[in-house]
Structure 1
Amino acid sequence: MITLHHLENSQSIRILWLLEEIGKPYGFKMYDRDPKTMLAPDDYKALSPLGTAPVIVDGDVVLAESNAIIDYIVDSSDRADLRPAPGAASRADYLFWLHTAQGSLQPMQTFSFVLGIATQRAPILVRPIVRKVVDTLNSAFIQPRLKAVMGLMETHLETHEFLAGAEFTAADIAMGYTLQMAKLRGALDADYPNIFAYVERMEARPAWQAALAKDGKFNGVPS
């Protein structure tokens, strides 16, 4: 049986969501962050060489990285509907949005969040310098990439209920979490009505609500 080692307020909640969508028994172990550093505890870091969330254990298999875990869990389930088959019309959209979530959007959001924290924690005397550097990075690098991805998704969702077409897939779980973080941090506004409506559809899913209830602490900070 697959066991999810779940770190509070982390990307591993998307794996908890996936497991709830599948609806089969799974193991679950919750880990709290260090209240001072907000980092994962040592026993969690020891689970995998990366020391990051999420992590699953299935017999002798210990696996990290969200998309790798998503593929592994879908492979192990009978939910073929969660991943369009090779050759299916929706396959390319599925692959694109699944990997855009982790390859483009999530890194930029995390980078922006970390830079914001760095600015807040910088010593007062150097804070203006740090803020200027952060503002330059945001305007020249982070925001243009975020706007490109969000603009493309906004247009895509004008004609698609889900990212891969008419059916909910694991790509919606990968991207849905990332967009929920954007919403919690105020990055979704009137410029993205289709994305906002999409996020509300994801948040209304019973499996997402069940994942929130099982987690019990999720507030989107930190990621």
Structure 2
Amino acid sequence: MLTLHHLEYSQSFRILWLLEALGADYALKSYDRNADDNLAPDEYKALSPLGTAPVVTDGDLVLCESNAIIDYILDSYPDSALRPAAGHKDRARHLFWFHASPGSLMSLQGIAMVLGLLEMRSPWPISSLLKAVFGQVRTIFLNPRSSALIDLMEKDLGKQPFFGGDNLTAADITLVYPMYAALDKGQFEGRTNILAWFARIEALDSFKSARAKDDRERIIFKF
């Protein structure tokens, strides 16, 4: 049986939601982060090939990386609407947003996080110089790219209710982690179509059941 090794406040919520949306038969093993450093416990890091969340086991198989896990699981559900088939009218849209999650949105968030950490932890006067350099990086690269991506999200969600098209797909599921991270930082203020998407997914029975099994007070994720 497939087992999801679920780390609290992490990307593994996406796999939990996927499994609930599929009505899959699976085992769930939850792990708490270390209280002192907020990292995954040693037991979890020893299990995962990269020491990161999410990770699933299926017999002798140990698999990490969210989108790889999503594709692996969906291979057992070839008729699922969560992955529109070739020729489906929403296939291209689904594929774009499915890959935009790690390829664009999370990459931009990761760069912003690293810049912020370097600014905070670098000693003066290096920190002063870094702030000036990183300010230019944000102005020239990060901010325009992020704004363009959010503009496209708002536009697409004005045409169809989900990132994957007319119905929920794995594109919405893989985006849930970076989308809530961006929401928590106030990046979607005034974006009515995007905010409506959050309300829409939170109303889904599969999302509610995943949240109940996640058993956390807030929908917030940590890098």
- TM-score, normalising length from structure 1? 0.90
Over residues 115-140 of structure 1, what are the superposed CA-to-partner deviations in whole Å (9 max), with x where a residue is unaligned? 33443444466543343333233222
Structure 1: segments with no counterpart, 5+ residues? none
Separation of aligned partners in 1, 2:8 and 2:125: 34
In 2 relative to 1, CA 149–30 (structure 1 residues): closer, same or farther, beyond 3 Å?
Answer: same
Separation of aligned partners in 2, 1:51 and 1:120: 25
In 2 relative to 1, CA 187–126 (structure 1 residues): closer, same or farther, beyond 3 Å?
Answer: same
Over residues 29-65 of structure 1, what are the superposed CA-to-partner deviations in whole Å (9 max), with x where a residue is unaligned? 1122222222222221122321111101011111111
Q: Are the equivalent residues in 2 in contact too, given 1:34–1:41 (CA < 8 A)?
A: yes
Q: Aligned pair 1:52/2:52, yes or no?
A: yes
Q: Aligned pair 1:105/2:105, yes or no?
A: yes
2:116 aligned partner: 116
Q: Aligned pair 1:61/2:61, yes or no?
A: yes
Separation of aligned partners in 1, 2:181 and 2:23: 24
In 2 relative to 1, CA 211–122 (structure 1 residues): closer, same or farther, beyond 3 Å?
Answer: farther
Please state how far the C-alpha of 1:221 moved relative to its aligned partner. 4.3
Please state how far the C-alpha of 1:78 moved relative to its aligned partner. 6.2
Separation of aligned partners in 1, 2:161 and 2:70: 21
1:214 aligned partner: 213
* Aligned residue pair count: 222
Q: Are the equivalent residues in 1 in contact too, given 2:17–2:210 (CA < 8 A)?
A: yes
Q: Aligned pair 1:137/2:137, yes or no?
A: yes
Q: Are the equivalent residues in 2 in contact too, given 1:176–1:202 (CA < 8 A)?
A: no
Between 32-41 and 68-77, report the one with greater CA deviation.
32-41
Between 209-218 and 18-27, report the one with greater CA deviation.
209-218
Please state how far the C-alpha of 1:215 moved relative to its aligned partner. 1.8
1:197 aligned partner: 196
Please state how far the C-alpha of 1:171 moved relative to its aligned partner. 0.9
In 2 relative to 1, CA 215–122 (structure 1 residues): closer, same or farther, beyond 3 Å?
Answer: farther
Q: Are the equivalent residues in 1 in contact too, given 2:181–2:222 (CA < 8 A)?
A: no
Between 147-156 and 128-137, report the one with greater CA deviation.
128-137
Separation of aligned partners in 1, 2:71 and 2:159: 26
Over residues 59-90 of structure 1, what are the superposed CA-to-partner deviations in whole Å (9 max), with x where a residue is unaligned? 11111111111111111236511111112121
Paired residue secondary structure (1:6): strand
Q: Aligned pair 1:74/2:74, yes or no?
A: yes
2:171 aligned partner: 171
Q: Are the equivalent residues in 2 in contact too, given 1:9–1:222 (CA < 8 A)?
A: yes
Q: Are the equivalent residues in 2 in contact too, given 1:22–1:79 (CA < 8 A)?
A: no
2:36 aligned partner: 36
Structure 2: segments with no counterpart, 5+ residues? none
Aligned residue type for 1:19: L
**Aligned Cα root-mean-square deviation (Å):** 2.0
